[in-house]
Amino acid sequence: PLGGDTDRKRRNSWSLPLSCRLVFAVCVYVANIVVFFTFLFPLLRGAAQWILFASFIASLVVTFFAALVVTLLDPIDPYVLKDPADSASDSECLHCRYCDSDVQVGSKHCWECNKCVTNFDHHCPWLNTCIGSRNYPYYYLAIVAFLTMVGTFLIAAIVPLAELTTHYWMRPMILGEDGERRASPTIAGLVVVIILDGIVWTLDLTLVAFHTFLCYMHLTTYEYLTGKTTRPRPTA
C-alpha cells in the first residue's frame, strides 16, 4: 500500500515506495548477467560457447525490454482518468466508490496501487505493479524470456560441471595435482549457482505454466482464484 495514502494512486512500478521484491528481482537479473559473463562463459568451449552466448543475450534483451514496458505502463482503467461529465452513458460500466468513477466491466480495484485496473489479472509484487489488459502481453513475454534466460544460464553451468567432474573423479591424471586444486572451487561454485538458479527457474516455470493455462482457458488470475467472471454482456 502507498503508505496509507488513500488518495494517491501508484502510476507504475517505479512510483515510491519501491517494493523490496522489485529490488530483489532486479538484483537477481543483474547477478545472472554478471555471473554468466565473468564465471560461466570462460568455462565453455567450442560451438556450445557461442550457441549459449547467443541464447543468453537474446533472452536477456527480450526480458529487459518486456519487463521495462510492464513496469512503465500504467494499467489504470481509462474511465478513471476521464471527466465524469464525459463518461459514455450508453456503455455498460460499473462504479468504483474508491476511485469515485465509473469503470469498465472487468476492472477491479487494486488496494496495493489504489486504482482500478482494466481486466485486472493480479498485482505482481516482483514488478511492483498491477497486471491488466494493457500490460499483460508484455508480462507474459517477460516471464517466458526470463525462463529462457535462466534455462540457458543453467545449461552453461551444467556443461562445464559435467566435464570437470568427469575429469576430477574418473580421469584425475588429466588435471594433475595443481589442476585438481583449481578445479575444486570451480566445481563448488558451479554447484552453488545451479542450485540457486535451479530454484528460480522452477518457480518461473510454474508461473509460465500457470499463465499459459489461463491464456488457454481465457481466464484472468483473479477469475481463476475467485471463481468470479465479469465480462461485458454481448451486444444484440
Q: How many CB atoms lie within 10 A of CB 5?
A: 10
Catalytic: which of 99, 124, 130, 215?
Answer: 124
Q: Which three cell numbers stand for residue 198?
A: 535451479
Q: Which three cell numbers stand for residue 150?
A: 535462466
Asked if residue 208 lies in contact with residue 149, where contact means CB atoms within 8 angstroms, the answer is no
Nearest to 25 by CA among 225, 206, 211, 203: 203
Residue that the C-alpha cell 489461463 belongs to = 214
Residue that the C-alpha cell 528460480 belongs to = 200
Asked if residue 78 lies in contact with residue 118, where contact means CB atoms within 8 angstroms, the answer is yes
User: Is 20 an annotated catalytic residue?
Assistant: no
Q: What end-to-end distance do the CA atoms of the chain give, in Å?
A: 41
- Residue-by-residue DSSP string for 109-152: EETTTTEEETT--EEETTTTEEE-TTTHHHHHHHHHHHHHHHHH
Cis before residue 17, ω within 30 degrees of 0? yes
CA 219 to each of CA 14, 36, 111, 234: distance values in angstroms, whole numbers, following the listed order: 28, 37, 21, 17
Collapsing DSSP states into helix, strand and coil, what is residue 94?
strand
Residues with a catalytic annotation lie at 124
